[in-house]
Amino acid sequence: MDRRAFLKAMMASYGVTTSPHLLASKLASSSALLDSSSFSDYRTVVCIFLKGGCDSLPLIVPNQFDDYKRYADLRQHLVYSQEDAVLLNPANRSDLDVSFAGIGADLANMFEDGLLSIISNVGPLVEPVVKQSIENGSPVPKFLSSHSDQSTLWAAGTGIRGTTTGWGGRLNELLRSSNAAMPSNISITGINQFTQGAESPSFVIDSLQPQILNAIDSESGGLVDNPFTGAYLALRERQQSLFGAEYQRTLDSAIENNALLREAIANTEELEIDYDYSSNEAGVLADRLKIAARLIQIAPDIGHKRQILYINMYDYDTHDRQVDTMPQLIGGLGKNIRAFIDGLKLRGVDENAVVFTQSEFGRTLTINGDGTDHGWGGHQFIAGTPVKGGQIIGDLPRLELDTEDAWSNMIIPQFSIEQYGAQLARWMGVSQGYMTDLFGNYGSFDDIDMDLFR
């Protein structure tokens, strides 16, 4: 008996397809859900989380002399030179005279090519605030300088603590597919909150290839004749508690889904695309984007009308050595997003995917000697063929102390996570009436259409 037939037979004989309490929960909430099976197209959003807190605000370099001098006085030896910067010509703004730091030349070139837009100054908010309202007692998110707390808020899609699911996971459940062969909320980084749903945990795969349980099955598709297989079969024959049955159901699902995924990915090709491997951080991102591209290509084969993919890129916590690390990080980010889009074009699926960034916070206006400390608001990037690129959305904050944009050496966010995430949710097919199901605090903010997509 081959592996897949064995697994299906075992699951059928075990009599477990979904647990009663999960099924009841799904049926109870079905009236609030959409069915992506009815969509006529395939779409994927790819979240790249810049872990550590990306110092993104100073990447936009002022061209006017006075503005640049204030910027340079603040950033000192960490300032980005005007000579190396790439001039930006925003398609939606005639009032801005800015360039992009030379370390992000690939990001700037995608901007000029109409493949990337910049959303200015996004961050977690409890409600809209300005400097004066904060000083008068308006609430701000708790523990603004905490990596773990701010990462949780970004993943949850809210500035209010306590949400255990992620907005990517909730988006997946809102856009459920009734005929998908496997989950479509996929992490290529490990278990994380962003893709975690109330009823559908993250489906985690390796950045190089889906894994098999070598103790149970083999590359050739058959059962392995060893003691582990015997133990596995013996366990399957035992009467189990409800908890044990649920655990076994999860194990069965993971084994079967990985088998299906390996088979589908085997039908795709490894393309000769020039990804950046000049640093460890860039190389890890490259490997993860490569598997993301193949997942997007096989989406129709595995019944995914809507996919949510999650990737981490590490080491943006630049308290020191920022002058050395940021060129590698931002350079690798830009080169690999460009390579990813180029690869999607060769696969014929570039119209189906959008890449966007998140990061727990921007960094402080001032430097600490050899780096920067934890801030609040920061710029985010959204890229892909469907993106109406070359835009800077929102007002650029002044990179100065003692302005209305700054509070306690940090820039106050202009847009909330909810407002930012809603743009991607709309592109995925979520109508306005469902936004509060996706983002519980959405009603606290103005409903904004950033006009990001073609």
> pLDDT for 61-74, tens place per residue?
999 999 999 999 99
422: which DSSP letter?
H
**Separation of alpha carbons 412 and 375, rounded Å:** 9
Q: Give the residue with greater pLDDT, 364 vs 239.
A: 364
Helix (H, G, I), strand (E, B) or coil at 98: strand
> pLDDT for 261-312, tens place per residue?
877 788 888 898 999 999 999 999 999 999 999 999 999 998 999 999 999 9
> pLDDT for 225-274, tens place per residue?
666 666 656 656 655 666 666 556 655 666 667 777 877 788 888 898 99
**Separation of alpha carbons 77 and 22, rounded Å:** 56
Q: So what's the pLDDT on residue 21?
A: 34
Helix (H, G, I), strand (E, B) or coil at 329: helix
Question: What confidence category does residue 50 fall into, taking pLDDT thresholds of 50, 70 and 90?
Answer: very high
**Separation of alpha carbons 237 and 224, rounded Å:** 18
> pLDDT for 94-140, tens place per residue?
999 999 999 999 999 999 999 999 999 999 999 999 999 999 999 99
Helical ranges in 321-393 per DSSP H? 322-347
> pLDDT for 339-348, tens place per residue?
999 999 999 9
Helical ranges in 15-114 per DSSP H? 20-29, 65-75, 105-112
> pLDDT for 153-198, tens place per residue?
999 999 999 999 999 999 999 998 777 878 999 999 999 999 999 9
Tokens of 232: 């596995």
**Separation of alpha carbons 108 and 318, rounded Å:** 22
**Separation of alpha carbons 353 and 359, rounded Å:** 20
pLDDT at 144 over 90: yes
Tokens of 235: 């366990």
Give the CA-trace dihedral at 143, 147, 152, 155, to 10 degrees.
130
Q: Provide mean pLDDT across the span 330-334.
A: 98
Lowest mean pLDDT, pick from 19-33, 79-93, 237-251, 338-352? 19-33
Q: So what's the pLDDT on residue 215?
A: 45
